[in-house]
């Protein structure tokens, strides 16, 4: 195994069996660059590949920081709708992009059978889009950017902020940028202008700067499209 990775034992909260999960060592998490939709690129390996843990015994899968803390009704739903049909397979060890996509799609399926909040679906869909970006599959990337966008939009109107660690203005920024990336420039411009015009958003100058840049970019793209 790559020496920036290590295995760790954890208990699966659904089947109560011990499993091995693979984590990235801190020295493997050096950031190289960030895309304008917050996708992080790393120096040595793609840390995102390891962000979903999967139980090989029962098919339970979740983002690692959400792996524990299930409700009793979630466990029942996963056992009934996933474990029953699960064919045992391991996700431990080094992953390539396809294995990572498989793990994330299992996490998404687990969220769906649990009737999870839109913000949780959005977070996983956005990461699946980033994995397809890594694979240079633009069609699938756009498909998952659209899923993420719809779920963030829904979360924005229905859920209470912060959405996990996501504050309101960062969520607005992501919605605006996803609209731009899927080519809905009018909507993108509206959302960016709401951030730029908001006095409260000024408490985060870095976000305002990014919003101004992307607002201008979306306006230029629209002008170009109409030329």
Single residue of 47, 55, 122, 129 touching Zn ion by CB under 5 A:
55
52 binds Zn ion (CB under 5 A): no
Single residue of 15, 77, 145, 166 touching Zn ion by CB under 5 A:
15
Q: Which of residues 133-162 bind Zn ion (CB under 5 A)?
A: none
Return the number of the residue (9 or 139) whose C-beta is nearest Zn ion.
Answer: 9
Single residue of 4, 12, 103, 201 touching Zn ion by CB under 5 A:
12
Window of 49-57, 68-76, 149-157, 201-209 that interacts with Zn ion by CB under 5 A: 49-57
Window of 6-14, 61-69, 96-104, 163-171 that interacts with Zn ion by CB under 5 A: 6-14
Are 19 and 90 a contacting pair, CB within 8 Å? no
Locus of tokens 């793609």: 46
Give the DSSP letter string of 120-154: HHHHHHHHHHHHHHHTT-HHHHHHHHHHHHHHHHH
- Rounded to whole angstroms, the Cα distance separating 194 from 53 reads 37
- Rounded to whole angstroms, the Cα distance separating 120 from 171 reads 13
Dihedral (Cα; 156, 75, 83, 16), 10-degree rounding: 130
- Give me the residues that bind Zn ion (CB under 5 A), please: 12, 14-15, 55, 57-58, 60
């Amino acid at each position: 195994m790559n020496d920036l990775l290590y295995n760790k034992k954890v208990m699966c909260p659904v089947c109560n069996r011990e499993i091995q999960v693979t984590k990235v060592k801190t020295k493997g998490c050096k950031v190289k660059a960030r895309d304008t939709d917050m996708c992080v690129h790393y120096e040595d390996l793609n840390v995102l590949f390891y962000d979903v843990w999967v139980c090989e015994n029962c098919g339970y899968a979740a983002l690692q920081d959400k792996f524990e803390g299930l409700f009793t009704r979630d466990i029942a739903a996963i056992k009934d709708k996933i474990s029953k049909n699960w064919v045992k397979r391991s996700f431990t060890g080094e992953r390539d992009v396809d294995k990572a996509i498989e793990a994330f799609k299992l996490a998404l399926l687990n969220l769906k059978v649990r009737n999870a909040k839109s913000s949780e679906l959005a977070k996983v869909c956005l990461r699946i889009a980033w994995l397809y970006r890594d694979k240079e599959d633009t069609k699938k990337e756009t498909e998952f950017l659209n899923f993420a966008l719809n779920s963030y939009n829904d979360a924005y109107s229905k859920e209470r902020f912060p959405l996990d660690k996501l504050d309101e203005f960062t969520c607005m920024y992501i919605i605006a940028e996803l609209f731009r990336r899927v080519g809905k420039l009018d909507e993108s411009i509206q959302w960016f202008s709401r951030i730029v015009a908001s006095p409260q958003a000024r408490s985060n100058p870095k976000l305002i700067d990014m919003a101004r840049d992307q607002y201008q970019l979306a306006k230029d793209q629209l002008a170009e499209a109409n030329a």
